[in-house]
Amino acid sequence: MNIFEYFFLNSQDLCFISNFDGCFEIVNPYFEQKLGYSQKELLEKKFLNFIHPDDTAASLKEMEKLKEGEVSLGFTNRYRKKDGDYLWVEWNASPNQADKKIYAIGRDITKKKIDEENGQKYIQELRNSEQHIKAIFDNAPDPVIVIDEKNNVVKWNPKAETVFGWKTNEVLGKSLIQFIIPSQFKESYDKEMEPFLTKGFENLSNTSFEIEAKNKKGIEFPISLSISSYKIDEKKYYFICFVRDIAQNKKILDELKISENFLDSIIENFPAIIFVKNVSDLRYVRVNKVVEEVFGFSKKEILGKNDYEIFPKEEADRFVANDKKLLDTGKLLEINDEPAHTKYKGIRIFETKIVLVKDSIGKPIYILGISNDITDRKRIQTELDNKTKELARSNIELEQFAYVASHDLQEPLRMVTSYLQLLEKRYKDKLDQDAKEFISFAVDGSNRMRTLIQSLLEYSRINRANAFENFDVNLLLKQVQKNLSATIAENKAIIKVDDLPEIYGDPILINQLFQNLIQNGIKFKNDKDPEIYISCKEEGNNYLFSVKDNGIGIQKEYIDQIFVIFKRLHGRDKYPGTGMGLAICKKIVERHGGKIWAESEFGKGSTFYFTLSKK
Ligand code: ADP
């Protein structure tokens, strides 16, 4: 074996000899081993058949060069292995023009090629991610600043330019953190950064804190700083600082705090029970101090509990049923006369309203309840109701008494009067002047008593009067004027009547009402001839009637007293009467559900007003 053969057989390179047609004539064992083909499968085959289709053209060209006699150094192509994979080979080949053969030695560079490809890919990926990071950095909605261990700025994004006012070129390489932090806060900044320096960057890779910052114009504002450290190599560290301007947040928080305080003070000082329950578990999350006062439980004893842990089961069942009803309907729920146990005051009665409190998307979060202890009010109301009933009963009794008494008194009175008159007639000649005068006083007195008894009887009869009906007040007033025609004529009175409505009531009583008022208007006249003006206007559900005269008027201080039974402002000698007229008027108006009152200018006349319901 010559040296060439030895080299050929033992070489760790791919070696072959081919003819000028490109057919393998000899391949070495390493070639066989690398491609996985045997000598037999390769010999006399064209090597072009084993080359990657993409490399065929270049390989053919290289073959031509060799055939021309040129040496080929460092040409690379891919060979197909028997298993289908390809092998990258770098060839050195030379032709032998004499025997028209090509001698080729190739080195397997597959690994190198793959490494190269991967390397390029890696570089591309690196470039891509650099682009991504740059895009994030440039478009970050908040300032992002990179500094080195000495606090010198390495990177400064566009948002940092707008927030702090300094351009990138003004800050690069400068200890900027030192000058965006106002001097009085530098110490606290250093304190926050201290752990990085003392504990080492790897043990504490990030921190965040709030601090006051300032911009180029010197305006100070609060920021939150999130700082992370990262390592380039064993010795080199950087800090990436994410800055957030929290002035707006702070303002919102301040406003929130104010409205929270506002709400707290309303809830605490509201003069009724306020409670708040969670919708999820119906446990109390808030109660005000009235709850403590009324129920005797401290807030501590209530908060976090549900109704079953505070009240007897039957009560808790009721409260929970109300909550469920509220949750089902979503509508404000009013619960009246609801009994509940208290710690020291036994069972109290409550009037409660509950509503749902919803979050921003309309989901119910809380049940808010406002409640009043109405136990005392209820008791007073019941007492009042009882007293009113009692009063009504005793009024009826009194009326009955007045009715019976005045009715029964009439007869003996009539007897007294007639016997007195008989006495006067029969013993006329035997009685002296004094006796006659005494008898006449007695007759006069008993007459007056009869009138009084009659008006009392009239008064007590009002509530036993007839059924109500619809009637025209215009017609009724015509009748009244007819009844009073003698008085009207005698006093030269002028009665003016507006157009009046039809009303629903007792026509006999209303007749009497107008008659009394008109009579008074005439009776209490001035030196002028009396003028009475009757009109009516609508006022809501009522008619407001007025009877106006031009008489003597009524002094202000007496104006409310004139409706009282037997109350008179003048002596009988000046204006005759019983003092019952207006009391009767009042009772008639009240029987119709209305009100009566007078207004007057003393000396110039009076107006009597009364209301009657339209229905
Ligand atoms: P009487 O007319 O029998 O005195 P009333 O009850 O009708 O009783 O009236 C009570 C008092 O009210 C009268 O005595 C009078 O002083 C006063 N009064 C009533 N109507 C008028 C009026 N139109 N003008 C002035 N005073 C009046």
- The partner residues of 611 in beta bridges, in order of sequence, read 544
Pocket probe for ligand 1: among 495, 512, 517, 524, the residue whose CB has the most ligand atoms within 8 Å is 524
Which pLDDT value is given to residue 300? 92
| Angle at which helices 507-523 and 581-591 cross, to 10° | 150
- Measure 547 CA to ligand 1 centroid, in angstroms: 13
- Read off the tokens for 518: 């008109």
- Measure 549 CA to ligand 1 centroid, in angstroms: 12
Written in H, E and C, the secondary structure of 582-614 is HHHHHHHHHHCCCCEEEEEECCCEEEEEEEEEC
Calculated CA dihedral for residues 307, 311, 315, 318, nearest 10 degrees: -10
Residue with tokens 């990177």: 155
Strands 101-108 and 14-19 turn out to be antiparallel
Are 162 and 139 a contacting pair, CB within 8 Å? no
Which pLDDT value is given to residue 572? 78
- Measure 575 CA to ligand 1 centroid, in angstroms: 9
- Measure 520 CA to ligand 1 centroid, in angstroms: 6
- Measure 589 CA to ligand 1 centroid, in angstroms: 17
- Measure 403 CA to ligand 1 centroid, in angstroms: 24
Residue with tokens 């003028």: 531
Q: What is the mean pLDDT of residues 29-58?
A: 93
Which pLDDT value is given to residue 203? 58
What does the pLDDT look like over 416-437, one tens digit per residue?
988 988 988 899 888 889 988 9
User: Where are the strands (E) in 117-236, listed by range?
Assistant: 144-148, 153-156, 206-214, 220-231
Rounded CA-CA distance 364/57 in Å is 77
What does the pLDDT look like over 129-172, one tens digit per residue?
889 989 989 999 999 999 888 888 999 999 999 999 999 999 99
Cβ-based neighbours of 243, under 8 Å, separated by 6 or more: 142, 143, 144, 145, 160, 163, 213, 223, 224, 225
Atom of ligand 1 nearest to the CA of 583: 6
Pocket probe for ligand 1: among 555, 568, 580, 587, the residue whose CB has the most ligand atoms within 8 Å is 568
Pocket probe for ligand 1: among 452, 520, 522, the residue whose CB has the most ligand atoms within 8 Å is 520
Question: Is the model more confident about 233 or about 225?
Answer: 225
- Read off the tokens for 302: 């209530």
- Measure 603 CA to ligand 1 centroid, in angstroms: 14
Cβ-based neighbours of 448, under 8 Å, separated by 6 or more: none
Residue type, 29: P
**Which range has highest mean pLDDT (141-150, 182-191, 252-261, 304-313)?**
304-313
Pocket probe for ligand 1: among 512, 582, 587, the residue whose CB has the most ligand atoms within 8 Å is 582
Which pLDDT value is given to residue 608? 97
pTM to 2 decimal places: 0.48
66: phi > 0 → left, psi -120 to 50 → alpha, else beta; which?
alpha
Are 255 and 350 a contacting pair, CB within 8 Å? no
pLDDT at 595 over 90: yes
Angle at 504 between CA 498 and CA 505, to 5 degrees: 100
Q: Whose CA is nearest to atom 14 of ligand 1?
A: 568
- Read off the tokens for 92: 């050195």
Residue with tokens 């990657």: 52
User: Measured in whole angstroms, how far is the alpha carbon of residue 536 from the centre of its chain?
Assistant: 49
- Residue 198 DSSP symbol: H
pLDDT at 465 over 80: no
- Read off the tokens for 54: 């993409």
- Measure 568 CA to ligand 1 centroid, in angstroms: 6
Rounded CA-CA distance 373/294 in Å is 8
Rounded CA-CA distance 600/606 in Å is 4
Strands 605-613 and 86-96 turn out to be unpaired
pLDDT at 398 over 90: no
Cβ-based neighbours of 95, under 8 Å, separated by 6 or more: 20, 66, 67, 69, 70, 71, 101, 102, 103
Which of 322-326, 372-376, 520-524, 573-577 is the least confident region? 573-577
- Measure 567 CA to ligand 1 centroid, in angstroms: 8
Q: Whose CA is nearest to atom 19 of ligand 1?
A: 520
What does the pLDDT look like over 524-581, one tens digit per residue?
999 999 999 999 999 999 999 999 999 999 999 999 999 998 888 888 778 888 899 9
Pocket probe for ligand 1: among 562, 564, 602, the residue whose CB has the most ligand atoms within 8 Å is 562
Q: What is the mean pLDDT of the chain?
A: 91
DSSP SS3 for 238: strand
Rounded CA-CA distance 43/25 in Å is 6
Atom of ligand 1 nearest to the CA of 580: 6
pLDDT at 200 over 70: no
- Measure 572 CA to ligand 1 centroid, in angstroms: 11
Q: How confident is the model at residue 204 (pLDDT cuts 50, 70, 90)?
A: low
Strands 86-96 and 596-601 turn out to be unpaired
Residue type, 161: E
Rounded CA-CA distance 177/152 in Å is 8
Which pLDDT value is given to residue 29? 93
Q: Whose CA is nearest to atom 25 of ligand 1?
A: 553
- Residue 293 DSSP symbol: H
Quick one: CA dihedral 456, 457, 460, 463, positive or negative?
A: negative
Closest CA to 454 of 325, 577, 292: 577
- Measure 407 CA to ligand 1 centroid, in angstroms: 25
| HSE toward the beta carbon, residue 439, CA cutoff 13 A | 18
Which pLDDT value is given to residue 192? 85
Residues having CB closer than 6 A to ligand 1 are 520-521, 524, 549, 551-554, 562, 567-570, 577-583, 606
Which pLDDT value is given to residue 202? 61
User: Where are the strands (E) in 180-313, listed by range?
Assistant: 206-214, 220-231, 237-245, 273-278, 284-287
- Residue 312 DSSP symbol: -
Rounded CA-CA distance 78/90 in Å is 9
CB atoms within 10 A of CB 177: 21
What does the pLDDT look like over 66-95, one tens digit per residue?
999 999 999 999 999 999 999 999 999 999
Which pLDDT value is given to residue 338? 93
Q: Whose CA is nearest to atom 1 of ligand 1?
A: 579
Q: Whose CA is nearest to atom 20 of ligand 1?
A: 520
